[in-house]
Amino acid sequence: MEEKEDIADVAKLKKVWVTVGAIFCLTTIILAGLVLVFINRKTVIKKINEIVPITERESGSQSDNFNLTRRQIDGVYVELGEENNYPVAVTIDNFSDARPAAALAKANIVYEAEAEGGVTRYLAIFADVKKVENIGPIRSARPYYVEWVEEYSAVYIHCGGSPDALAKIIKENVVDFNEFYNGSYFYRNKSKSAPHNVYIKGDSVFSFLEKNKLEQGKFFPWLFKDDRQEAERPEAAQIKIDYPGDYYKVEWRYDKQGNQYDRYLAGKAHTDEDGEKIKAKNIIIQFIAAEEIDDKLRLAMKTIGEGKAFVCLDGQCREGKWHKKNNGSRTRFYDIDGNEFAFNAGTTWIEVVQPEHKVEF
């Protein structure tokens, strides 16, 4: 009798162990699956972070479409593979006889700074030159333009330059695309007179990039964020910059609905050669002292170091400072508490202003 009970107990125990074993196996399989999913998820996130080297994101700023990523130069979402095209920088004329300029509204980043005699010029930087038809009028290089070009390791398109600028280009191995030595790529616009008539087509620039195997950019991006919600934006705002001479006075008027700034030059809406209005998502006022260095009224500007700045976006201007560690490093902008500014995705204009010039907000 006891033997039968022992056999029954063994059978029961066997069933228990079988059940426990089955549960253990099932649990192991589930855990293995979860680990695999987690590893894959980390891999995907890692790949996205490698593709999008943006160190600050706000909630909802990352696209739900994994085929899109932020472009490094301006934070705009683009197809994978287009996020870091080799940047192209061009010195563009702003003399009154040279207006309107071509492609200025299509630039991703634009610097405006005085060249000489109170006349400003633009350094326009393009992320995708294939989408630009004509660019110009193209003017000569200056050392501080070269230093901004180097921040992006960009191709530099210009037509001659000051002796110091040309020497700097050679010494610092800037990728040089000077009209003087590459005339076949350029053309003269017959509707304008020299020296305000040197132009180049976007296709010609792209051919130069292909010929020299220039494909991927090599620069450190700024931080980017999402636009502020419309309900939180101010109704109106203006930025006025008194560059010397009435022909060069600049005004930016804030558009709440589009969360962007419309540019006015010499009291009129600023448009490019195609009639496209010039707009920007971010306006930076960077104060840099300048001094005349020769009888042609050329200027020297110290772009390395730090100084006062205002950053305007979402309808508000905030005081801060600019900082550039050394030649070739990227100028970065910080608020008064030392936090780096994050910019809205889209076009940025950097207005380089001497401290004695008047700026109103």
Band the pLDDT of 28: cuts 50, 70, 90. Answer: low
Which residue range forms the structural domain that includes residue 246? 223-360
Q: Is residue 58 part of a domain?
A: no
**75 shares a domain with 203:** yes
**168 shares a domain with 229:** no
**165 shares a domain with 91:** yes
Cβ neighbours of residue 331 under 8 Å, at least 6 residues apart?
A: 148, 151, 286, 303, 322, 323, 324
pTM more than 0.85: no
Q: Give the pLDDT confidence score for residue 67 in this predicted structure.
A: 86
pLDDT tens for residues 135-145? 999 999 999 99
Q: Is residue 182 part of a domain?
A: yes
Handedness of CA 101, 155, 173, 148 (dihedral sign): positive
* Count of Cβ atoms closer than 10 Å to residue 214 Cβ: 18
**111 shares a domain with 90:** yes
Lowest mean pLDDT among 66-70, 121-125, 269-273: 66-70
Q: Is residue 62 part of a domain?
A: no
**287 shares a domain with 196:** no
Q: Structural domain tally of the chain?
A: 3
**250 shares a domain with 199:** no
211, 246, 268 - which closes a domain: 211
**148 shares a domain with 13:** no
183, 211, 239 - which closes a domain: 211
**26 shares a domain with 110:** no
Cα(259)–Cα(361) distance, rounded to whole angstroms?
16
**289 shares a domain with 158:** no
Phi and psi, residue 305, nearest 5°: 125, -135
Q: Give the pLDDT confidence score for residue 44 in this predicted structure.
A: 33
Band the pLDDT of 36: cuts 50, 70, 90. Answer: very low
Q: Is residue 2 part of a domain?
A: no
Q: Give the pLDDT confidence score for residue 251 in this predicted structure.
A: 98
Q: Give the pLDDT confidence score for residue 273 in this predicted structure.
A: 96
**45 shares a domain with 73:** no
**84 shares a domain with 45:** no
Q: Is residue 216 part of a domain?
A: no
Cα(263)–Cα(277) distance, rounded to whole angstroms?
8
Buried b or exposed e, range 287-314, using 16+ CB within 10 angstroms: bbebeeeeeeebbebebeeeeebbbbbb
**231 shares a domain with 205:** no
Q: Which CATH number fits the domain that encloses residue 326?
A: 3.50.90.10
> What percent of the chain stands above pLDDT 90?
78
Among 23-37, 53-67, 209-223, 303-317, the range with the most confident prediction by mean pLDDT is 303-317
211, 239, 274 - which closes a domain: 211
Q: Is residue 218 part of a domain?
A: no
Q: Is residue 63 part of a domain?
A: no
Asked whether the bond before 137 is cis by omega within 30 degrees of 0, the reply is yes
CA torsion, ordered 215, 218, 224, 226, to nearest 10 deg: 10
